[in-house]
Amino acid sequence: MLPVDVSEADAKGGRKPLKVLGIVLGVIVALLAVVYLAGALVFMDRFLPRTTVGDLDVSLKSSAEVQGMLADVIDDYVLKVEGQGFSLKLSAAEAGMRLDGRAATDAMHASANAWAWPLEILKAHDESDKLAATYNESGLGDTVRAAVDEFNKTATPPTDAVIAYSEAKGAFIVEPEAVGTALSYDAVIKAVDDAVLALQPTVKLGADVLQQPKVLSSDPKLTAAAEQANTMIKADLVLTMAGGTAGEVNADLISQWVRLGDDLSATLDEAALTAWVDELAAACNTVGTQRTYTRPDGKVVTVAGGVYGWSVDRDALLNLVKESVAAGTVQTAEVPCTSVGTGYNGAGAQDWGLRYCDIDLAEQYARFYDETGALIWESPIVSGIPDGVHDTSVGVYWLNQKASPSKLIGYENGKKIYESDVQYWMPFVGNVIGLHDADWQSSFGGTRYRDGAGSHGCVNLPPYKAAELYGIIQSGDVVVSHW
């Protein structure tokens, strides 16, 4: 018997389990590789587990199956939009929705990594956003816009925060903004888009879809504007004429002129302020206007015309008001005028003082009243021939001057028609028409002025009466000639 090497035999027997283990592991790896490759190939066309598109579960579905499911959903899809008083039903056809199923599934596969399926199957996959490109260019937006525009025709638009004058507080305050009921198209279409992306059947519109004010009460510019406006209304400008109040610029009036500018600053409405100044000026201007007054003897007289009276300096008045308001000035000031009278009782009334000369053409009588209104001189007269050419001018005038003696020369059509020497010349219409002595008149008063003895426009007086008046009347005295 030959000897045996036990250690060598044991070694050969020990290799067999290791070889078997290696073969087993190789088979497992091969199987896993096959499974992995098979899974990758499957998920090239089928969708991973836990994959959804809106409310659809497309797990393990093929591209063709998913395309069919999407087509069915789109064909039957109706979206009901409700909220904030708005209601709209949208079908896929009405909205012009179209779905390119192939493009949608291709986009879904592009975002999924089939080669990483062992890990991806553990995750949830929402592919709803892959539908967006299929309808963003459709008629959905036009349909929603038309519905929103129609709704907004009767809706209340939002109002911005503004500054407003509070009569109770006597000051400008910030009035808060208000949302209203009008819808924002952009907000509504976003809500609709989100619902369509998820293929949801309904969408509830909340307050976030309402149009929002652009200017909020929290804007510090509004507070600054209110402060600025309150500085303006501090002004209290009392405008006087001849000691009487003609107008007042106060808070109630100024508040009507304050406007909120585009930059949220408080500004004055120049047009409104100017209109008020023009109205005041027109009311205060009396030159040539019609006045009705009661003469001291009780006769009511209406007269118009002449060059006497108050004429407001409109530009100076406008500047005075603007500057006073801007600075918040409190003061009493005379209305600036280019021409002033001796008294003022408002438009349409006597705008001269108690002292004046009254020439009554109807009565053919003249009177002079002193500063107290007392009658201190009177006389019958002979006035101009009432032929439309030589009539004595009517209206309110100043006495321009006095001259003693004086030579009166009259012209018609460039020819001298008379030349008269008078002792007392008191003109009130330029240096052409005036009161003067007329020793050639045999009598005065009555109807002589229209019975052949009328003048060429002047007011003829008896010589001694002319002398008396000459000693009383002064340049600048008011002369009222009327019928």
Is there a single domain that holds both residue 388 and residue 471? yes
Cα 30 vs. chain centroid, distance in angstroms? 83
* Strand-strand pairing, 356-360 and 365-369: antiparallel
Determine, yes or no, domain membership for 240.
yes
Is there a single domain that holds both residue 230 and residue 321? yes
pLDDT value of position 91: 86
pLDDT, mean of each 10-residue run, the chain (483 residues)? 52 68 80 74 82 84 85 84 95 73 82 80 82 57 92 97 92 95 95 81 95 95 93 94 90 92 91 96 94 97 97 96 92 95 88 96 98 97 96 97 92 83 97 96 97 96 98 97 98
Q: Are 477 and 356 in contact (CB under 8 A)?
A: yes
Domain of residue 123, residue span: 38-159+178-212
Q: Are 465 and 443 in contact (CB under 8 A)?
A: no
Is there a single domain that holds both residue 47 and residue 141? yes
Active-site residue, from 109, 125, 458, 482? 458
Partner residues linked to 178 by β-bridges: 159
pLDDT value of position 96: 65
* CA pair distance 284, 312, nearest whole angstrom: 7
* CA pair distance 346, 278, nearest whole angstrom: 16
Which of 272, 307, 339 is the last residue in one of the domains? 339
Q: How many domains does the chain have?
A: 3
Is there a single domain that holds both residue 60 and residue 114? yes
Is there a single domain that holds both residue 192 and residue 234? no
Q: How many residues does the chain have?
A: 483
Is there a single domain that holds both residue 368 and residue 474? yes
Determine, yes or no, domain membership for 142.
yes
Is there a single domain that holds both residue 194 and residue 45? yes
**Residue pointed to by tokens 């309150």:** 230
* E-only strand ranges, 185-235: 202-204
Question: Which one-letter amino acid corresponds to residue 78?
Answer: V
Determine, yes or no, domain membership for 18.
no
pLDDT value of position 112: 79
Q: Of 358, 360, 337, which is closest to residue 287 (Cα–Cα)?
A: 337
Determine, yes or no, domain membership for 76.
yes
pLDDT digits (tens, 9 = 90+) for 184-212: 999 999 998 888 777 788 999 999 999 99
Determine, yes or no, domain membership for 22.
no
Inter-CA distances, 400 with 309, 430, 432, Å: 14, 7, 10
Q: Of 212, 222, 13, 47, which is closest to residue 121 (Cα–Cα)?
A: 47
Contacts of 268 (CB under 8 A, 6+ apart): 232, 257, 258, 259, 322, 325, 326
338-376 in b/e form (b: 16+ CB < 10 A) is: eebbbbbeebeebbbbebbbbbbbeebebbbbeeeeeee
pLDDT digits (tens, 9 = 90+) for 388-425: 999 999 999 999 999 999 999 888 887 888 889 999 99
Q: Are 131 and 197 in contact (CB under 8 A)?
A: yes
Is there a single domain that holds both residue 130 and residue 252? no
* CA pair distance 463, 447, nearest whole angstrom: 19
Determine, yes or no, domain membership for 88.
yes
Cα 164 vs. chain centroid, distance in angstroms? 13
Active site residue 458: yes
* CA pair distance 428, 434, nearest whole angstrom: 5
CATH number of the domain enclosing 401: 2.40.440.10
Determine, yes or no, domain membership for 228.
yes
Q: Are 289 and 303 in contact (CB under 8 A)?
A: no
Is there a single domain that holds both residue 201 and residue 85? yes
Active-site residue, from 109, 436, 456, 482? 436
Which of 339, 370, 388 is the last residue in one of the domains? 339
Tokens read off for 475: 């340049």
Inter-CA distances, 483 with 105, 301, 306, 474, Å: 104, 8, 14, 24
Active site residue 482: no
Determine, yes or no, domain membership for 2.
no
